[in-house]
Amino acid sequence: MADSNALPLVLLAEQFAKLPGIGMKSAQRLAYHVMSMTDSEAQAFADAIIHAHKTVHTCKMCQNLTDKELCPICANESREHSLICVVETPKDITAFERTKEYNGVYHVLHGLISPIDGITPDKLKIKELLARIQQGGINEVIMATNPTVEGEATAMYISKLLKPLDIKVTRLAFGLPIGGSLEYADEITLFKALENRNEI
Amino acid sequence: MADSNALPLVLLAEQFAKLPGIGMKSAQRLAYHVMSMTDSEAQAFADAIIHAHKTVHTCKMCQNLTDKELCPICANESREHSLICVVETPKDITAFERTKEYNGVYHVLHGLISPIDGITPDKLKIKELLARIQQGGINEVIMATNPTVEGEATAMYISKLLKPLDIKVTRLAFGLPIGGSLEYADEITLFKALENRNEI
């Protein structure tokens, strides 16, 4: 590419290629697209990166990303502050909020325990969760980490830490996804669906 | 998303979602990734956008993108300047350069004739191509637009314009892709492969 194209374009494509899920070919396509923007569009794009990066930080209560001191959920008086849903990333909060059914608050761990990748419990926002619970007023903690090895391990680790505090700790239910088909369900999901069967 | 996340993040995700091939979910993921960058990484990303957008323009000879007056290919004395390969986009040049077999120069149309989309011949760099040929010294023009309706129409349109100038105009060969399988070839490709069969 360096042979036939301008160097600044190559450098821009390399920046795009650093983003997750974007390979060198897509990165080139995106770089060419930037060339077709107007001056003000390109400026707005660059400004949005800098502005978001500068002003967004973690909520001092739940560790969600926010540009205020408290995120809108923690600042919302009408939410149930005695119910904490523990998630891996801020994206997971978006997923729960889409259901419009959950009215508690959240706690973002910013990762899962994974010793292989060097992610030990002290690298996650677990002590912030404990501090929050020790302040009192919490009835239930829902462990809503992903149903993966790391997600399970993290849920187990935290639930053991919370046992002595005499807090109700729950875990998301696992089973068949709604609209899914038995035929395409993997064995572990099917086993979980069997194991957690309910009387009707 | 606006409910649970910071506004600057939403704005950044909207910027990413304007890029081709990036939906709202991917855009959110990319915006979150920017949050995990260091200050200098985020600055480098934003700078690359502005720098590429400001310094890159079209080559005054072949309309390829470049940050110089002439692109490296037009400025290269060892290339065959009497042979012009006409392509739709700068990306196509990258594809030809990868073959390492072509030693002529290029001309980028920056689009294909498509009256439905309002792209008439005057919106493409066709007059620049004609001006270039009228300056003399050109032996052959290869029409290397895509084998689509618009690509064919554009190739035909330009070849008719060049007829009176007594220039050899050629078109890329169409047939089976190398490494492809007869079984998976579409009918038109197979028809082209039959029609253009060569004696061995």
What band does B199 get if pLDDT is binned at 50, 70 and 90? low
DSSP state of B9: H
The percentage of chain A sitting over the pLDDT mark of 90, rounded to a whole number, equals: 64
Contact (CB, 8 A) for B46 and A46: yes
CATH architecture of the region B7-55: Orthogonal Bundle (1.10)
How far apart CA B93 and CA B142 sit, in angstroms, is 13
**pLDDT per position as a tens digit, A27-69:** 999 999 999 899 999 999 999 999 999 999 999 999 999 999 9
* B165–A contact, CB cutoff 8 A: no
Domain boundaries, chain A: 7-55, 58-199
Instruction: Give the pLDDT of residue B5.
Output: 60
Residue B179 region, left (φ>0) first, then alpha (ψ -120 to 50), else beta?
Answer: left
Q: Which CATH number fits domain B58-199: 3.30.930.10, 3.40.1360.10, 3.60.10.10, 3.40.50.300?
A: 3.40.1360.10
* Interface-testing mutation among B45, B88, B98, with chain A (most A C-beta atoms within 10 A): B45
Check residues A166 and A176 and name the one with the higher pLDDT. A166
A56 touches chain B (CB under 8 A): yes
Average pLDDT over every residue of A167-188: 80
Instruction: Mention every residue, 6+ apart, whose C-beta is less than 8 A from residue A91.
Output: B28, B29, B32
**Cα separations in angstroms, B43 against A32, A51, B37:** 20, 10, 9
Instruction: Decide if A5 and B33 are in contact by the 8 Å CB cutoff.
Output: no
- Chain B residues inside the 8 Å CB shell of A91: 28-29, 32
A21 Cα to chain B: minimum distance (Å): 9
Q: List the single best residue of A49, A55, A78 to mutate versus B (max B Cβ within 10 A).
A: A49
DSSP code string of B112-159: --BGGGTB-GGGTTHHHHHHHHHTS---EEEE---SSHHHHHHHHHHH
Task: Look at residue B71 and give its three-state secondary structure.
Answer: coil
d(CA B37, CA B105): 41
A95 touches chain B (CB under 8 A): no
Give residue A1's pLDDT.
Answer: 43
**CB-based contact, A24 to chain B, within 8 Å:** no
Q: What is the ipTM of this complex?
A: 0.72
- Judged by a CB distance cut-off of 8 A, whether residue A36 touches chain B is no
Nearest-angstrom CA–CA distance, A89 and A111: 7
Report yes or no: B35 at the A interface, CB cutoff 8 Å. yes
Kindly determine whether residue A19 and residue B33, on different chains, have CB atoms separated by under 8 Å. yes
Q: Supply the pTM of this predicted model.
A: 0.73
Asked whether residue B178 carries a pLDDT value surpassing 90, the answer given is no
In tens, the pLDDT along B59-91 reads 999 999 999 999 999 999 999 999 999 999 998
Tokens 């560790």 belong to residue:
A63
Beta strands in A59-161 (DSSP E): 65-66, 80-87, 104-108, 140-143
Q: Within 10 A of B147 (CB to CB), how many other CB atoms are there?
A: 13
Q: For A128-144, what is the mean pLDDT?
A: 92
Q: Examine the pLDDT at A104 and tell me if it is beyond 60.
A: yes
Under a CB-based contact definition with an 8 Å cutoff, are residues B51 and B58 in contact?
no
Question: From CA A43, how far away is CA B125, in angstroms rounded?
Answer: 27
